[in-house]
Amino acid sequence: MRVLISGASVSGPLLAYWLNRYGFDVTVVERAPSLRKTGGHGVDLFSPAMEIMDRMGLAERVKAAETGTSSLVYRREGRRPVRVEMSRVFAAVSDRHVEIMRDDLSEILYEHTRHDVEYVFGDSIAEITGDGEVRFDSGSARRFDLVVGADGLHSNTRRLTFGQVREEWIGAYLAVASVPDHLGLDGEMDTTIRPGRMAGIYSSRTLPDARALFLFSTDEPLDYHYRDVDRQRELLREAFAGMGGNVPKLVDAAARAEVFYFDEISQLRMDTWSRGRVTLVGDAAYCPGPAVGGSTSLAVVGAYVLAGELAANGGDHERAYPAYEKEIFAYVQRSRAMALKGVRRVIPRTRSDVLALTTTLRLVNVLPLAVNRALARLGSGTMRPHDGVVVKDYRFTG
Ligand SMILES: Cc1cc2nc3c(=O)[nH]c(=O)nc-3n(C[C@H](O)[C@H](O)[C@H](O)COP(=O)(O)OP(=O)(O)OC[C@H]3O[C@@H](n4cnc5c(N)ncnc54)[C@H](O)[C@@H]3O)c2cc1C
């Protein structure tokens, strides 16, 4: 049975690995001319995602490539900085956590699959017909039994299958730029926070440079075109005007950076993400909000479950797709709820919210881990959305 996957980042190669292991014939098409290795940002693998890495024999490689960011410094106006141990924060959220650059994770997954899976770079799906014929931008046409969109938040496969689906803006924006490591960061993320704005810089042991990260909230959506990078840099300058410390330097560096990413933080709220022979996985299907919803772990679990259900149902998509959606729907809903809370937590809007955040982080720093975990659990399921996920064992279906 032939499966086409669109997108070679995280969910695409991971799905390809499991489908190949279950005996499917897999092709991955990626729009970029080669594996992306230019920018990217840190992503989080929580407990269930790491369990899947264990089952793929990749946990050690993933761990060896972790960013190594061990502390987070919050700088506030006229107050002493707050320093937080990252491991304590993440331990409250999940029993297991690895932060890794997305491009490093993609590379590990690609290297692990490239001998068994066909990868086609520099192309994209142009049309999917009802009988399984797929036409590509390059002009070629091929026949596949199933098509899976793993092509991210602004998925092309989703647009071709469902038309224009609304991405719900959740009140904030984010920008990431590749910048020189002017602070000589050594396992530290350095941030400056004001009501409604957070600017920071972090690096990874695997990177020669650093990433400037900007998060800010607005009352109304901003007016810009997603291709107009000059306007996006201008909006960034406006949003962070008047902030002191190293923020002007970071904004200048981001304004000059060759690799610059700017987007609204939005959430997909589709109740189903399969139609006919086509389904979606990862951010393309259920992105809860980049940087605030733990979406990488969700993408990993989603891809694993989709492959498992296809194998368990002998490739019958009419049974496998609903089973896949049912299996992860609760996790998707918890992630959406966490993102809505997370966006307000990560970008506190008022002075008292900033104070509440820094006070909480100070407490996390000093309280015993067991107490932090208990408090996180009390903060409803949305504080620990990952650890309740049972990673089903599909190993015997392959
Ligand atoms: C700035 C930023 C910060 C983030 N921070 C975090 C974080 O702190 N923690 C966390 O867990 N997650 C974070 N995320 C989210 C995380 O990156 C995603 O959840 C994760 O990468 C999802 O993987 P995916 O494979 O589903 O999609 P993506 O990683 O988005 O990959 C989609 C792939 O599809 C390809 N593609 C796109 N269009 C086409 C097309 N037409 N044809 C073929 N291929 C196509 C793209 O080139 C890409 O390779 C962040 C995201 C962003 C943007």
What does the block give as tokens for 145? 């039994």
Smallest CA-to-CA distance from 274 within 333, 317, 212 is with: 317
Instruction: Tell me the C-alpha distance between 8 and 317, whole Å.
Output: 22
Strand partners, 133: 143
d(CA 151, ligand 1 centre) in Å: 7
- Please tell me whether residues 246 and 314 are part of one structural domain: no
Number of domains within the chain: 2
- Please tell me whether residues 173 and 240 are part of one structural domain: yes
Q: Domain boundary at 267, 302, 326, which?
A: 267
Length of the chain equals: 398
- Please tell me whether residues 263 and 289 are part of one structural domain: no
At residue 398, the pLDDT reads 47
Can you give the CATH number for the domain in which 28 is found? Answer: 3.50.50.60
Instruction: Tell me the C-alpha distance between 174 and 239, whole Å.
Output: 11
- Please tell me whether residues 20 and 148 are part of one structural domain: yes
- Please tell me whether residues 257 and 350 are part of one structural domain: no
Whether residue 295 has its Cβ less than 6 Å from ligand 1: yes
At residue 212, the pLDDT reads 96
Looking from the CA of residue 45, the nearest atom of ligand 1 is 11
State the residue for tokens 């972090």: 202
Instruction: Tell me the C-alpha distance between 239 and 262, whole Å.
Output: 13
- Please tell me whether residues 260 and 287 are part of one structural domain: no
DSSP-derived secondary structure for 2-59: EEEEE--SSHHHHHHHHHHHTT-EEEEEESSSS---S---EEEEEHHHHHHHHHTT-H
Can you give the CATH number for the domain in which 255 is found? Answer: 3.30.9.30
Whether residue 124 has its Cβ less than 6 Å from ligand 1: yes
Whether residue 389 has its Cβ less than 6 Å from ligand 1: no
Residue 328 identity (one-letter amino acid): I
Give the structural domain span for 140. 2-166+268-397
Mutate to test the pocket of ligand 1, among 4, 6, 43 (most ligand atoms within 8 A of CB): 43
Per residue of the chain (398 residues), what is the pLDDT tens digit? 999 999 999 999 999 999 999 999 999 999 999 987 766 899 999 999 999 999 999 999 999 999 999 999 999 888 889 998 888 888 888 889 999 999 999 999 999 999 999 999 999 999 999 888 999 999 999 999 999 999 999 999 999 999 999 999 999 999 999 999 888 888 999 999 999 999 999 999 999 999 999 999 999 999 999 899 999 999 999 999 999 999 999 999 999 999 999 999 999 999 999 999 999 999 999 999 998 889 999 999 999 999 999 999 999 999 999 999 999 999 999 999 999 988 988 899 998 988 888 888 888 777 776 766 666 665 555 567 788 898 999 975 44
- Please tell me whether residues 50 and 150 are part of one structural domain: yes
- Please tell me whether residues 9 and 139 are part of one structural domain: yes
Q: Domain boundary at 267, 289, 316, which?
A: 267
Sort strands 146-149 and 278-280 into parallel, antiparallel or unpaired. parallel
- Please tell me whether residues 306 and 368 are part of one structural domain: yes
Whether residue 172 has its Cβ less than 6 Å from ligand 1: no
Q: Whose CA is nearest to atom 51 of ligand 1?
A: 290
- Please tell me whether residues 20 and 153 are part of one structural domain: yes
Q: What are phi and psi of 99, to 5 degrees?
A: -100, 130
